[in-house]
Amino acid sequence: MKIIIQKFGGTSLATQELREKVAAIVKKSKEEGLAPVVVVSAIGRNEDPYATDTLLNMIKKTNTNPSLRETDMLLACGELISGVLLVNQLLAMDVKAHYMSGQQAGIVTDGQYGAAHILYVDVKNLISLLENNITPVVAGFQGVSENNEITTLGRGGSDITASALGAALQADIVDIFTDVEGVMTADPRIVKNARLLDAVTYNEICQLAREGAKVVHPRAIEIAMQGNIPLRVRSTTQLDSAGTLVTNSLRSAYGAAPMIRDRLITGVTYASHIVQVKIGNDTLENEVADIQLKVFQALAKQDISVDFINVQPNMLVFTVPEDLAEVTVKILNDIDIFPHLEFNCAKIAVVGAAMTGVPGIMAKILEALRDHNIPLLQSGDSYTNIWCLVAGKHMEEALAALHDKFALGKNSDG
């Protein structure tokens, strides 16, 4: 039995017409002799009826701080709706199919509501359906804890479900169908000449995903990598495109086994709605180290996760997501620290798994930003990324400028 996982995101299931397309893809793979296991997300996005955000807003109208257990039960309904619709679409097209909740599919997680981790997958129900030529349509993003409580895996969690099933069933491939052609050098909604990456390593795509390219969940890539299952990101509607193959060698694509190399620069990503917090000279004049320690201890105690930290002898800078700015200020004020805040910043990352030790990359970044008169508020680097903090109003221009500078676009030979 050649098992393949076919995961369809929320926008791919949003209309009757799209669900017919999705069902046709599943039907065709069955006709080709494959045994597909389908994973679905909740229908639509943001404010669409039944989308995850819609359900969340609904409960938040009743209680701004809703109970975690019941929130997960509510959120798990989104995938039930899309799954049941897709099963019936398949049945209408003479494809035998069966809806499975995360629990019915054997996805067992820890008990952390809203951000549960998959512990293992008990595949016996799935296997018995497949042996009877019935296609399982599995609810993504959810599982069940060992105490029999419904849990969800966090945003983008359906990708994780797909990879976990791929690894547990030793599938030939995990296909992530979405609303773009594949993994591109930048978000194609923002950078118009973004180019499709036809083959990338797990490492490269993991770096992109961690830095905000939400096209695949980074944990889904880690699971596929550990299970040594190739993963492909492709479009639900542009079926003539092969999309992006994610693997460490090209064997599954071409029959030969050359290694794919990490390239110098893979792409650029962004994260917006970030607030920069600066604690400057005056505050830190005395007992600098003590104050630095106090700041981070106070924030850690309240579970505030800070990013982009620069500690200098008389200056302390870091960033927090916008929705944590108010509570961060309160925590700091309580220990008599009065920071300066820079609202509405964006963090851009130039990502390249092979950039380590290559000189001149920072110089190129600075050139690109200067040519566009975009002030750099803060920068940082690791061996696979260089991060730039800019004002939110400059985000799109900065992304495009860096994308061009590294010749990543369609009409360049990068």
Instruction: Return the range that interacts with ligand ADP (CB under 6 A); candidates 144-152, 177-185, 324-332, 376-384.
Output: 177-185
Nearer to Mg ion (CB atom), residue 179 or residue 204: 179
Following DSSP, what letter does each residue of 157-199 receive, concatenated?
HHHHHHHHHHHHTT-SEEEEEESSSS-BSS-TTT-TT--B-SE
Nearer to Mg ion (CB atom), residue 21 or residue 394: 21
The answer to whether residue 156 forms part of the interface with Mg ion (CB under 5 A) is yes
Nearer to ligand ADP (CB atom), residue 165 or residue 213: 213
Task: Give the nearest distance from C-beta 197 to ligand ADP in angstroms.
Answer: 8
What are the C-alpha distances in Å from 366 to residues 10, 213, 408?
Answer: 38, 22, 17
Task: Give the nearest distance from C-beta 156 to ligand ADP in angstroms.
Answer: 6
**Would you state the structure tokens that stand for residue 67, as one six-digit string?**
């109970």
117 contacts which partner out of Mg ion, ligand ADP, none, CB within 5 to 8 A by kind?
none
Residue 234, classed as helix, strand or coil, is: strand
- The answer to whether residues 188 and 195 touch, using CB atoms and an 8 Å cutoff, is no
Task: Give the nearest distance from C-beta 266 to ligand ADP in angstroms.
Answer: 9
215 contacts which partner out of Mg ion, ligand ADP, none, CB within 5 to 8 A by kind?
ligand ADP
Question: Which 8-state DSSP code applies to residue 303?
Answer: T
Number of residues that bind Mg ion (CB under 5 A): 2
What is the Cα Rg of the chain in Å? 23
Task: Give the nearest distance from C-beta 172 to Mg ion in angstroms.
Answer: 22
Following DSSP, what letter does each residue of 76-94 receive, concatenated?
HHHHHHHHHHHHHHHHHTT
**Would you state the structure tokens that stand for residue 92, as one six-digit string?**
């209408």
- The answer to whether residues 387 and 308 touch, using CB atoms and an 8 Å cutoff, is yes
Nearer to ligand ADP (CB atom), residue 184 or residue 369: 184
- The answer to whether residues 210 and 226 touch, using CB atoms and an 8 Å cutoff, is no
Helical (H) or strand (E) element with 268: strand 267-279
Among positions 2, 28, 60, 189, the unique one binding ligand ADP when judged by CB under 6 A: 189
Task: Give the nearest distance from C-beta 61 to Mg ion in angstroms.
Answer: 25
Distance between CA atoms of residues 195 and 56, nearest Å: 35
First to last CA, the chain: 41
377 contacts which partner out of Mg ion, ligand ADP, none, CB within 5 to 8 A by kind?
none
Which of 127, 122, 114 has its CA nearest to residue 164? 122
Interaction mask 71-110, ligand ADP, x per CB under 6 A: ----------------------------------------
The answer to whether residue 213 forms part of the interface with ligand ADP (CB under 6 A) is yes
- The answer to whether residues 377 and 345 touch, using CB atoms and an 8 Å cutoff, is yes
Instruction: Return the range that interacts with Mg ion (CB under 5 A); candidates 6-14, 162-170, 309-317, 400-408.
Output: 6-14
Nearer to ligand ADP (CB atom), residue 45 or residue 69: 45
Among positions 187, 204, 211, 404, the unique one binding ligand ADP when judged by CB under 6 A: 187
- The residues of the shown chain that bind Mg ion, judged by CB under 5 A, are 9, 156
- The residues of the shown chain that bind ligand ADP, judged by CB under 6 A, are 9-12, 41, 156, 178-180, 183-184, 186-189, 208, 213-215, 267
